[in-house]
Amino acid sequence: MKYLVVLLIALVVLWRIRSKAQAPEAPPIQERAEAGPKTVEMHACTHCGLHMPFSDMVTGTRGRYCSAGHRALAEH
Ligand SMILES: [Zn+2]
């Protein structure tokens, strides 16, 4: 009976070690929030109205465009 108790304790300890090892190390919630998408300022193309990030747009004399082609179409 004594060995049965020892065996039971050993099994519980082993189970706990195994379950800890199997659990993937999840990154902290704070770290996930920082890695999330940034709020990008979106603007519409003056020629076609397509919304895209402000930094990716082509600046023309009459406005901002989604591409150099649309700038050329709108300003020439
Ligand atoms: Zn456009």
Question: Residue 75 in contact with residue 60, Cβ under 8 Å?
Answer: yes
Could you say which DSSP state residue 51 is in?
Answer: E
**Tens digit of pLDDT at every position of the chain (76 positions):** 788 999 999 999 999 988 887 766 676 666 565 666 668 889 999 999 999 999 999 999 999 999 999 999 999 8
| Burial degree of 18 (CB within 10 A; 0-12, 13-18, 19+) | exposed
pLDDT reported for residue 39: 81
**Distance from Cα 36 to the centre of ligand 1, integer Å:** 28
Tokens 């999840």 found at? 26
Domain edges within the chain: 40-76
Tokens of 28: 């902290």
**Distance from Cα 37 to the centre of ligand 1, integer Å:** 24
